[in-house]
Amino acid sequence: MTEYDYWKIFPRMPRKVTIGDITIRDGFQHEEKFVSTDAKKFYLEELIFAGCRDIEVTNLGNPYLMPQFRDAEELLAHLRSDRFKKKCAYKGINYDDIVLTCITIRESAVDRAIRLKDQGIGPDRVLMMVSTEEEHHFANSGTSLPNYWAEAERCIKKSTDAGMQMCGTVSTIWGSPIGGATDMKDAVEFTKRWLEIGAHDIEHADHDGSASAPDVYRYFSMILDEIPDTRLHIAHFHETKRVASASVLAALQAGITQFEGTLGGLGGQPANFLDDCPVKGTGEYYYDDPRYVGLVTLEDTLVQIDEMGIEHGWDVDRVLWLGRQLERTIGRRLRSEAIINGRTLKDGHMEFARPGLAKLKEKLKESSKQNLPGDWSKKATLPEKYRP
């Protein structure tokens, strides 16, 4: 007999998940126009009010390289202000439940985060990143893997002493846009290395959309077999082939409970052009068409998880509204389908019903709930040749 209970088929699949948002950092870093500081404040606030408790605020790297984040300190100060804390209290949000994260790829950025922490506006959590494929790692960080690991170990000690958590990201798990195929076992080993040197949690990242659902399931099954505490693991999927929702499902089936996304599926490499001027960024883009990069959309992922009956803590309708506002902010159609088509409504859309069905059934002497001819049997008899 086939088993029909999804949670029995996939016993590790969670009934409750955490979904973080990284729109303001990863999403906006790819935009070739400066998103106003007021807009960033608006979306940071509204995402928190809609249910986000794990949010990436900004990048604390050198604003010469990424001028999109020249307002980093102003954003942090806004979220640490008494005014914002009072707003949270008014809406029934426990401010202490909110985790503010900043990206700090290199040690100088970690030092900046520590200085901001001393000023009372620093993040709760910072993030550093390694790729299992060294050419990709070098493109992102500007240094070799051995040198970076030593730097990360120093930075974890610094950040811990300053009262901040460190997230260690592992990238190119399922392939590299520069070096090609990779071995998932290397990513498992890198995950252990992060934890060995004191990282608080691990972001497992598919930064170029290389992942396929079977390999996502295999990888996260490998991870949870060896490191079973689900609080340590965050799944981060980019969308380049319109199959990332399958990766989300595969990660759920493997037992992953923490995910992240961006409104509209924004994101990608740091921009090398801003407003009317070329900027350094991280160099040339490693893809041909920027329309086909970015993360899983927060809106569609929430609808997917919500309609699976998995608890998530977000106001889905509010997020769909925010997605529509973001299209106006960015000035183009983004990648969420849910903001157009909405959620699946159990009550249907009766406004589209054609008139006259009730009268026709009455004329044909059919009851209102009748779906079959009256002289047919109540149960179908399957022909012998089609039976199991």
Q: What percent of the chain has pLDDT over 90?
A: 89
Q: Which two tokens stand for residue 341?
A: 């088509």
Beta bridge partners of 292: none
Evaluate whether 169 touches 111 at the Cβ level (below 8 Å).
Answer: no
Q: How confident is the model at residue 2 (pLDDT cuts 50, 70, 90)?
A: low
Mean pLDDT of 84-89: 98
Taking the CA of residue 304 as centre, how many other CA atoms within 13 Å lie in the half-sphere pointing to its CB?
20
Domains of the chain by start residue, with CATH = 6-341 (3.20.20.70), 350-386 (no CATH)
Q: Which two tokens stand for residue 209?
A: 């959309």
Q: pLDDT tens-digit profile of 156-205? A: 999 999 999 999 999 999 999 999 999 999 999 999 999 999 999 999 99
Between helices 145-161 and 134-141, what is the axis angle to 10°? Answer: 50
Q: How confident is the model at residue 77 (pLDDT cuts 50, 70, 90)?
A: very high
Q: What is the pLDDT of residue 343?
A: 85
Would you list the DSSP string of 341-378? Answer: H----TT--GGGPPTTHHHHHHHTT--TT--S-TTS-S
Would you list the DSSP string of 225-290? Answer: HHS--GGGEEEEEB-SSS-HHHHHHHHHHHT--EEEEBGGG---SPPSEETTEE--TTSS-SSS-G
Evaluate whether 147 touches 128 at the Cβ level (below 8 Å).
Answer: no
Give the C-alpha separation, 170 to 130, whole Å. Answer: 5
Mean pLDDT of 334-347: 89
Q: pTM of the predicted model, to two decimals?
A: 0.94
Give the C-alpha separation, 286 to 69, whole Å. Answer: 22
Cβ neighbours of residue 104 closer than 8 Å, sequence gap 6 or more: 60, 61, 110, 112, 113, 126, 127, 128, 155
